[in-house]
Amino acid sequence: MKKFALGCGGVVGVLLLIALAVFIGGCNSNNKMVALSAATDARWADVQNVYQRRSDLIPNLVSTVQGAANFEKSTITEVTAARASVGQVKLDAATAPKDAEQLKQFEQAQGQLSSALSRLLVVAERYPELRATQAFRDLQAQLEGTENRIAVERRNFNSAVQSYNTAIKTFPNSFIANMRGFQAKPYFQAAAGAETVPKVNFDFGKPPAK
């Protein structure tokens, strides 16, 4: 009888150890996914910051080009309207998007603003007196740096999302992810032909780099 009791006790002990190991493993998996989710949120905040920086530069840019005689009003209107359109796409600045359609709308609005800014700078090429001003040159340099930072932060965000999405779909994390409600996050999608960062030509005396 004692041997039987000892045997049962041994089995129970083993089962408790297994249960403890599973519990600890589950906690570790959960904590890992929480950390990776937080990392995507941090990278998203970085993306939002650089886009906001570009948006903040636009009023000064518009004010500067308006000072040039006969500057094309339609181009200024296009930039102003594109900036307003970006503001209409409401996304949480602190939490990475979960809705792929919302992120797509955000991308489209930002892409329209990028195109409008590019056209404005092309038009500015026709105004040598504008290009000669220090304020315009400073804004050009800041926009160039901001566009580069946007490309970098988008890549960083996609990298963080990839790590997170891979973690929640990998066994045994997938079981914990399903129980805890971890969901895959969408990526920024590169437009066709956007494999490299667009080169913005701010030296209007030279042909664009190829």
Q: pLDDT tens digits, residue range 187-197?
A: 998 654 444 44
How far apart CA 93 and CA 97 sit, in angstroms, is: 9
- Please report, for the chain, the start and end positions of each structural domain, with discontinuous segments joined by +: 25-180
Can you give the pLDDT at residue 100? 93
CA 157, 161, 162, 166: dihedral to nearest 10 degrees? Answer: 160
**In terms of pLDDT, which residue wins out, 41 or 23?**
41
Residues with Cβ < 8 Å from 169, sequence gap 6 or more?
Answer: 177, 184
**In terms of pLDDT, which residue wins out, 18 or 156?**
156
Can you give the pLDDT at residue 5? 52
**Residue 143: burial class (beta carbons within 10 Å; 0-12, 13-18, 19+):** buried
For residue range 121-180, what is the model confidence (pLDDT) as tens digits?
A: 999 989 998 988 999 999 999 999 999 999 999 999 999 999 999 999 998 889 889 988
Task: pLDDT band for 1, please (50, 70, 90 cuts).
Answer: low
DSSP designation for 67: T
How far apart CA 55 and CA 112 sit, in angstroms, is: 13
Pick the CATH number of 25-180 from 2.60.40.2470, 1.20.1440.20, 1.10.630.10, 3.40.50.300: 1.20.1440.20
Taking each continuous run of H as one helix and of E as one strand, the counts in the chain are 6, 0
Can you give the pLDDT at residue 6? 53
CB 173 within 8 Å of CB 32: yes
Can you give the pLDDT at residue 185? 95
